[in-house]
Structure formats: C-alpha cells, structure tokens
Structure 1
Amino acid sequence: MTMSEATQVPSKSVIGHRAWWVVAVTGTAIVVAGACSTLPGVLQGPLRDEFGWSRGSIGLAVSVNMLLYGLTAPYAAALLDQFGVRRVVAGALLTVAAGTGLTTAMTATWQFTLLWGLLVGAGTGSLSMTLGAAVTDRWFARHKGLVTGVLSSASVLGQMVFLPALSWIIDHHHWRPALVTLTLAALAVIPLVVLVLRDHPADIGQRPYGSEAFAAKPAPVPGAGRRTLTVLRDAGRTTPFWLLAGAFAVCGASTNGIMWSHFAPAAHDHGMPVTTASTLLAGIGVFNVAGTVASGRLTDRLDARRLLAVFFTLRGLLLLALPLIMTATVRASMLAFVVLFGLLDLATVPPAIALCRVHWGEDSAIVFGWTNAAHQLGAALAAFLAGAARDAFGTYDPVWLALAAACAAAALLSLAVER
C-alpha cells in the first residue's frame, strides 16, 4: 500500500481498530509472563519438602529472576525498534516456555537459578510493562494513560487467573504439573502473536487510534545494545532519572519482592493455609486491575508526581498495618487490606511512564525500562533479604516495618521530580 492510499483509509471504531486487538494479544502475552512472578511463593514449601532447600537458596533464584527481568526490559524495548514487536514477543514466549519446561527436570539449586533465574527472568523481562509502554506509543494517540494502565495491570491479571489454579494443581498433583501448565500456556499464545500483532499501524494502512493524521512507520533502529546503553548514559546525567529509579526500587521491593514471593509463606507462619493465602493474592490481582486502569485515567488528568507520592504513602501505611492483621483466618481487616493494596499495587506505573514521556520523549520506553530495572533490583533484594530475615528472626514482621519506612522515602523522591 502506498502512502497516498494509506492516508485514505478511514479511522475505524473502537472495536474495529486494530490497535485494540493488538492491546488484547499483547496483554495476553503479559498475562502469561505475570503468572510466573508469583509461582515461587507457592513453590517454596514443595521445593523444601522434596529437596531440603532453605528459603534463602530458593530466594536467591527468585532474586536472579527478578534482576534479569529488570535488566532485560530496556534492551527488549530497543529490540522492538530493531526487529519489531511480533518477533520479540514470540521469542520471549519461547524463552519462557523453555525455562518453565526445563525447570521440571531440575535437581539442584544452581539449576533452579539457571533455568528460573536466567531463562524465565529474561523471557518475562521482555514481556514487561516496558512492552506495554512501547505498544501504547506506537498504536495510540489518545487515551495513552488508560491503555498503559490496562497493559500494566495485565501482569497482575496473570497472577489472578493462574495463581489459584496453579496452587490447586500443586496441592493435588505436585509442583511439576503446575510448571507444565505454564509452559503450555506460553506456547499457546504464540500463534495469536503471529496472526494479530503488527509492529506499527502503518503496516496495515491505519492511523494510530485517535490520530487525525497518518503516521509513517519509523525505519528499524540498528544497534539495540549500543542504543540502550547510550540512552542510559544520557538519562543518568539527569536528576529526574535517579529520583524515579530510587522510588521505583522501593516500589519493586514493596510489591514483587515481598508480596508475590513471601506473602503466602508469611501467612502460613500465622496458620493460614497456602491455598487460602494464594486466593488472597489473587484477590489483590482483581483489584489491581481496577486500580491500575483508574490510575491511568487519573494520569491523563492530574500531576503524575503527586499521584506517585500519594500511592507510595498509602502503600506504606498498609504495610505498616499488615503484621497486626495477619491471622490464621480471613477476617474483615485482611479483606480490606486485599482491596486497598490491590488498588495501589501497580497504580504507580502509569504516572511513572507519563513522567518518562515528558522528560525523554521517543526514548521514554527505554528509559522506563531502566527505571523498571531499578524496580526489579529492589524486588530482587527484598526477595532475598526477606527470606534471609525470616530464617534469622523467625518472623517477617521487621521486613514489613522496614518496607513501610522505605515507601515514605519513595513518596518524597516522587515529589522531588521536576515538572
């Protein structure tokens, strides 16, 4: 199709515009990747029972996974500009399938670190919120905050959809069939990626959703690795980058690092069955979707810095209260925690992406990828240190208190970011 022909293609309705189908398939891929993030929490008991591994050694593999998840994201954003969305997403799903499938054959902790830490970490890192930011920038001219919120929530939606089912499989059929389920899910999404995903609206002669003008597809940008490091060097010379990175390190520590890896074991310490704790985590995922979408809409209207500060402050207060409300049974106070923490969990993502767009423009997806790397570094440290703290003190209470204080600091860092 020529440029003149493409510009004559009318903008289609919400349902008919390809952008929404691209969002649906991209979100499905992120859902599968998200399912991997909470599985180690319910694997801890079975792995300790079968292999006699300590919480610290299991936490090390989880930490490597989280660290690779973060480090892969900015490079994946650059690879999208070089090789296209379809190739990168399909390759990432194959990597996830290989990692989860081979983990069923492991017999030593170093193998768990290699397979779950490196392979699954790199695969899921390519299917992170950075992918959602890049797809949004290519396919949407309007409602960017809303679409960013939807795709950001897809990761936790994966936890909501898969975690109760995976927990049930582990309880009734052992842990290996749960990993096989994830492997098959990753492989099943690949045909959808091949059939639906396109790199840019210009590939099918459409305008970005909400745009009145046709946008030509940018030429591939070679040298993804070099470009990723160059963007990091340039962003690293600015104060807003370090403020956002510091705040997001705390974000990762107080969500993925502790909640998705240690909430179930912490609840079990108080006598709560792991399946019940997993269901509560799934409940957090339900409200996470609503909170992240709402945050996206608010980001389109309000000061992103203040939104971040409010979200971190409220999250810190919830973590401060958690040791007081965790019991063997599910009470009203715990249900309130699930609702409120779910609304806040990933609500920080849309305003952070918006700030990256303001400060770094066309490189914003890569810069957010590096910010997300800080997020995962904080998550990795929290996952490892929380397990070590539990081994040393016999309780998670000091961890909750420390993270509540860190959230207060993150709120101050958010306010310090320039407009």
Structure 2
Amino acid sequence: MAIAQTRPFGQRYAFVVVGVIFLALLIAAGLRSAPSVMMVPLEQAFGWRRDTISFSAALGIFLYGLVGPFAAALMERVGLRRTVMASLVLMAGSTALSLLMREPWQLIATWGVFSGIGSGAVASVLGATVANRWFKTNRGLVMGLMSASSATGMLVFLPVLAALAQWGGWQPVAITVSIACAALLPVVYLLVPERPASIGLRRFGAEADEPPVAAPQGNFLTSTLATLGQAARTRVFWYLFATFFVCGFTTNGLVGTHLIAFCGDMGIPEVQAAGLLAVMGVFDLIGTTLSGWLTDRYDPRKLLCVYYGVRGLSLMYLPYSGFSPVALGIFAVLYGLDWIATVPPTLRLSNESFGDRAGPLVFGWVVAGHQVGAAAAAYFGGTMRQLQGNYQLAFLIAGLTGIMAAAISMLIEPPRRGEAAVVPQPA
C-alpha cells in the first residue's frame, strides 16, 4: 500500500479521516452550488435563457444523485481513496474545461454531465460509507457532521463565489472551484486509508474481537442493481425514497438553485442574497450536527416528521414575507436549521432496515431519489419563472410537498429490534 501502515491517535484516527472527507464533501457542495451564482452572469455573457441554464444545473444535480449508489459499490471494489481521487480529478477538469465553452451544449456537458458524475461520488453515500466503515458507535453524530459539510460548503463558497461573479463574471467562479478540487487531491492520497484494518486499527467504538469485514465478491454493477431490486420490494425503501425526493426538491433543487435569482427579482443584490444562503449554512451546520446527536437517541421517524413539516411551512411563508431583512432573517434561521437535518435519521432507518453492509448502498439509491427531486425542482423553478415571470407558485408547491413528506415519514416501519435486515448482507 502506498501510504504508511501506521497512524497517530489510535482509534481516534477515524476522526482525521472524517475531517478529510468533510473537506471533500464541502468542495463538492461548493461545486454544486456554483450554478446559482453563475445563472445571471451566464445569462448576461451569452444571452442564454434561464430555463436552458437551469437545465444544466438540473442535469448536474440528477447525475450527482444517480452516480451515488454505483460509487458506493465502486468504493467497495476498487477502493474508497481511488474513487474519491478520480472524482476530484473529474470535477477539477470539467470546471476548468468550461472556461472554453461558447455554446449551451458545452455548459450542459461540463457543468451538467461531467461535474455531475464527479461530484456524485463525493456525496452523502461517501459520508455513509465512511461512517459505517470507520465507526461502530456515534454514527449518527458523525453522519450529522459530514452531512453538514454541504451547508458549510455553501457558507464558505457562496459569498466568495458571488463576489467573484459580481466582480468578474462567471469565469472566476469556475477557476476557483477547479483549483479547490485539485488542491484536495494530495490530502486525500496522504491521509485517507482504505479501512481501519489497513493501518492496524479497528472501527471507533468496536471491541478488540470484532471479526474482520469480508471483502465483497462479484461484479459491482450487478451487486448494485441486485441490491436495488431487493430493496425495491419493500415499502420502507419507497417511503424513504419519496421523502428524500421531497428533501431534494425543497433544498438544493429549488432554494439552492433559485433563491439568489428570486431575491434578485425582489431587488436584493446577488452578494447580499448569497449572504442569506451563507447564514442558512451556519444554522444548518448547527441543526444537522444536532440532528445527528438526536438520531442516536430518538425515533428517527418523528424527527423526519418535524423536519419536513417545518421546512414546508418555511417555504410557504417566504413568498409572502415581504423580503424585508427581518423576514428573510426568520426564514434563514427556520429553513437553515433543517436544510440537511434529514440525512442522519434517513441513514439510520436505512441501516436498521437493510443492514450495515447493504444499508449504505440502499442509502445511495435513496440519495438518488433526493437528487431526482432536486433536478426536477431546479428545472421546474426555472420553467415556472420563465412562464409566470416569478417564483411564487414554485415555492408554494414545494412547501406543500414538505407537508406531504412529514406525513409519509410516520408510515415508515423499520424492523423491530432483533429482526433480520430486509436485504440479506453478503457473506
């Protein structure tokens, strides 16, 4: 193995791995949020329609989710570190290549197809794989921290990217994202082993006599699709898929892609609107971490019901808020606290229902539902804006879907304690 076989901190080295993966997830989130600040500059630079630019963002979000379950299986076959590094190379290359674009199809290829595939492997399924692979206990808290990286990515990147877009157009945004992706490559190579056993450790919280994890067998594509086929026969999978579809529809699909443009329609400058998203990112960092702590202690179904209910009401409030500083501040706090707070309880339900080995893979398919919802909302929002001249109805509809997801959450029935997981774990 190319990296050293020993590491400091003992079992606590797991938190070093979490820190590096947190950075990778943060940068992927920054890439996926970049189209929201590029939308108006691209419109001005090329004269492209809002729905055309929205389609590129939607395609990137869709692939971001679709790649997830295959990436989870690929990490088991070729290695987590190799998968993450290849994804970073693809993200850096595609965003750099976009600097040469002159036609809409080139925008779709670079910021839609290639960046979508690259960022899809550095997403929630990566966090789920690391949490299961490196931790026996405290998984909810760890997953909460890594889920919060998307909010932190928004916090760190959006104000900077918005200022760059306002100063120099869309090109400085692409350059910044490309450099950030490339800079993380040596960090991942040096600090992320494949498994705890690779450096003579066991999972954090595991007993010394914990049996080693058997290497997966067979073709990873076949395994991925077979796991989907087994999970799709259960109600719990479709309930999780439906609620996470709504999660994507109501977060990075609509708000993440169109809130800055919505604020622009209401006379709020781009940098100020990006600052609003950054405030939401601060509160989501708090809310998602707290959600992970709560998930280790309380019924995840009830947590999801509360999160989706608050989110739906927040979205229905926004179009009638008047967009005053106080009203936007209230929205930022309420909405920010549960932006990605749904991830830890959803992952727990997936692991409880499908087992520690199959759980992350099934969760990858659930995340695909999240991104299908996000892609639908990204395109839906742009189309509604093009047809109606405003975003009001789009946000109201999204709010109603949040209320529906709150109700669906209470229908989920994971196996009782002691029962076998729904999907048998591989030998």
Pick the aligned partner of 1:324 from 320, 326, 343: 320
Displacement of 1:413 in angstroms is 1.1
Displacement of 1:173 in angstroms is 2.2
Displacement of 1:84 in angstroms is 1.2
Q: Residue type matched to 2:333 in 1?
A: V
Pick the aligned partner of 2:287 from 286, 291, 294: 291
Answer yes or no: is 1:358 the counterpart of 2:352.
yes
Output the aligned Cα RMSD: 1.7
In 2, Cα distance between the equivalents of 1:264 and 1:174?
15
Q: 1:326 to 1:53 in 2, by over 3 A?
A: farther
Counterpart residue number, 1:194: 189
Displacement of 1:170 in angstroms is 1.3
Give identity over the alignment, percent: 38
Displacement of 1:11 in angstroms is 11
In 1, Cα distance between the equivalents of 2:176 and 2:214?
38
Equivalent position SS for 2:410: helix
Counterpart residue number, 1:149: 144
In 1, Cα distance between the equivalents of 2:16 and 2:165?
34
Q: 1:204 to 1:117 in 2, by over 3 A?
A: same
Tell whether the 8 Å contact from 2:33 to 2:257 is kept in structure 1 after alignment: yes
Pick the aligned partner of 1:415 from 398, 410, 419: 410
Equivalent position SS for 1:141: coil
Q: 1:381 to 1:387 in 2, by over 3 A?
A: same
Q: Residue type matched to 2:358 in 1?
A: D
Equivalent position SS for 1:315: helix
Equivalent position SS for 1:53: coil
Q: 1:406 to 1:83 in 2, by over 3 A?
A: same
Tell whether the 8 Å contact from 1:39 to 1:163 is kept in structure 2 after alignment: yes
Counterpart residue number, 1:374: 369
In 2, Cα distance between the equivalents of 1:275 and 1:196?
35
Counterpart residue number, 2:338: 344
In 2, Cα distance between the equivalents of 1:366 and 1:155?
20
Counterpart residue number, 1:303: 299
- Alignment size in residue pairs: 409
Deviations 1:287-306 (A, max 9, x none): 11111100000000000111
In 2, Cα distance between the equivalents of 1:150 and 1:62?
26
Displacement of 1:221 in angstroms is 3.8
Counterpart residue number, 2:423: none
Answer yes or no: is 1:392 the counterpart of 2:392.
no
Displacement of 1:367 in angstroms is 0.6
Pick the aligned partner of 1:207 from 202, 206, 224: 202
In 2, Cα distance between the equivalents of 1:130 and 1:75?
10
Counterpart residue number, 2:278: 282
In 2, Cα distance between the equivalents of 1:379 and 1:93?
22
Q: Residue type matched to 2:277 in 1?
A: L
Equivalent position SS for 2:20: helix
Answer yes or no: is 1:251 the counterpart of 2:247.
yes
In 2, Cα distance between the equivalents of 1:270 and 1:10?
53
Tell whether the 8 Å contact from 1:64 to 1:113 is kept in structure 2 after alignment: yes
Q: List gaps (5 residues or longer) in structure 2.
A: 415-427
Alignment of 1:40-189 (within 5 A): 40-189=35-184
Runs of 4+ in 1 over 4 A off after TM superposition: 9-13
In 1, Cα distance between the equivalents of 2:134 and 2:156?
27
